[in-house]
Amino acid sequence: MSELPLFHLLHPTLRPPLIRPLLAGAISPADRIMTDRSDAQIGRLPEHLIVEIFIRLPVCEWLQIACVNKNWASIFQGEYLWQTAIARNWPAAGLRKRWPGPIPRGSARRRFQALYVSENLVQSGEEIDELVGHTYLYLKEQLERPAMPPSSILHGTIIDQFIACGKTGEKAHDLASKIWLAVIDGLKENEQTFLLLKHLAREGEFFLPFPYSRSYKVLWRVFDKLFTDFRDCFSGADYLDALSTAKSRFQPVPSTWLGH
């Protein structure tokens, strides 16, 4: 599963001069807005009307729009557009109070990102739960840190968050597993991901009570990605070491994991 264009939009630095030339020739609603100097005409409108236009365009095209000029970039960097987009796409989200627990709700831009994730990346089988998206973002950011905390601590934090919001232990464990799987599936195929997966695979077993015990499905997915997507990245010794660890945890191991 590839990373959504939305995440690139949320980067704090936008560079219109570098990206605007790339828009030439593209046919899209956003492109039609940006041709024939129509950006100057739209620029004369009040900001709230510009926002109403922008939020009706596909999210995947917002990055292009934000890169047209500094004024439009500032609109996407502010809170008003995100608040308006939330109200239009998820009206009930505005009624939800802040929740207790270690994972905060954050800005309107952060909330939009979390709601988008909840709707598109993590299927919880229920109505869209903003907290699921925030938890996904929290875990993704923690895994990208140079000094990543132990996965048992991350898993425990997620479990505590869901329980603090009224979920049962079983439901909290189920949601945490789905979020782990979604984050792992969304990782890019690069050296950083290979090193991260090796680290997760080598972590020792933590004998913790349910629901704080690590998910079997998540650990399986870690090894599966290592032996299918990153097999060529292993040295011979590293491969044998990882395979030995896998055999100590899963019996039998799939035939697709064998061979280097």
State the burial class of residue 206 (Cβ atoms within 10 Å of its Cβ: 0-12, 13-18, 19+): middle
**Could you tell me where the DSSP H helices lie in 20-107?**
29-34, 38-43, 47-54, 62-66, 70-77, 80-89
Tell the burial category of 91 from Cβ atoms under 10 Å away from its Cβ (0-12, 13-18, 19+): exposed
Residue from 152, 147, 140, 151 nearest 183 by CA: 140
pLDDT of residue 75: 96
What's the Cα-to-Cα distance from 32 to each of 29, 43, 95, rounded to whole Å? 5, 15, 35
Cis? peptide before 104, omega within 30° of 0 = no
Q: How many CB atoms lie within 10 A of CB 97?
A: 6
Conformation bin of residue 37: beta by default, left when phi > 0, alpha when psi is -120 to 50: left
Tokens read off for 93: 């989200």
What string of pLDDT tens digits covers the 260 residues of the chain?
A: 334 445 444 444 433 343 343 334 444 555 555 554 455 567 688 999 999 999 999 999 999 999 998 999 999 999 999 999 999 999 999 888 889 999 999 999 999 999 999 999 997 766 789 999 999 999 999 999 999 999 999 999 999 999 999 999 999 999 999 999 999 999 999 999 999 999 999 997 667 899 999 899 999 999 999 999 999 999 999 999 999 999 999 989 999 999 87
Distance of CA 222 to the CA centre of its chain: 17
Q: What is the pTM assigned to this prediction?
A: 0.83
